[in-house]
Amino acid sequence: MDGESGIAFSKMNGLGNDFVVIDARAWRVALDSEAVRRIAARGAGIGCDQVIRLEPDAGADAFMRIWNGDGGEVDACGNATRCIAWRLMQESGARKVRIATNAGVLVCTPGPRPMTVSVDMGAPRFSWQEIPLAEPFADTRMIELHVGPADAPQLHSPSVVNIGNPHCIFWVEDVEAHDLARLGPLLEHHPLFPERANISLARVTSRDAITLKVWERGAGLTRACGTAACAAAVAAARRRLTGRTVTVSLPGGALDIAWREDDHVVMTGPVAVEFDGIIPAALLGAAAAEPAR
């Protein structure tokens, strides 16, 4: 594998949220935002929501670096974490792996069914500084933000939380009744979110079930977003709309989310392997690969 002939990759997905995975543990692989955008472009490139680079890490089984399709690096991706964990467990035969990310080290174990993985996503963060927001809010279970006329807003009073990434969740009666493809980019870039935000529409269907639709910052409408599912589950429990264990249904399928009493959030869901291939040198630009030392 080298930058002149191309770079090997695996295509994987979690509930349709898809990734190009590049293993840079044995080979150093340099990627910039332009190369990521070319790789992620559907039709012209390989096509994916996120590009993942595995790197060696002294304190974990691997470090997972994550870029969204727009070329921006992000701190967490729950669906990708499951995929990488499954890959690492298949390699080593281990029943537990530790994956380092910019958001911390995530501990992963096999799920209850074949091709499923459980991930300890850590503890959610609720203070306005940690999300972060551009101005103080004493209670992030429900903040002052609305879309449309003040006397009859289309969307209003969202919950906000950070679980690896900043999330803003609007509670609605019907997730399909709002044009998230139009509203998502406007809200993602709202001045209230200095690091932008993932925007979700959530409907509570029972004490243990939520329907969710997500606009993911830097990726757009997605079939699934693991951190958004965790954020919605936690936010619903904080507002006493559900219990602490729920099934979150997304366009790509369902995730089981448990907010444990130790404050950690555990996400369980499926993994899919699509194919392996070589990223053509033309997509890589200045990117290159050389043996790691």
Q: Which residue has the tokens 């543990």?
A: 25
- Cα–Cα distance between 64 and 43 in angstroms, integer? 26
Cα 104 off chain centre by: 14
- Cα–Cα distance between 223 and 112 in angstroms, integer? 23
- Cα–Cα distance between 74 and 226 in angstroms, integer? 14
Choose among 109, 17, 107, 111: nearest CA to 62. 107
Active site residues: 77, 225
Both tokens of 272, joined, read: 């899919």
Residue type, 195: E
Contact 15, 269 (CB under 8 A): yes
Q: Are strands 272-279 and 7-14 parallel, antiparallel or unpaired?
A: antiparallel
Q: For helices 226-238 and 78-92, give the axis angle rounded to 10 degrees.
A: 120
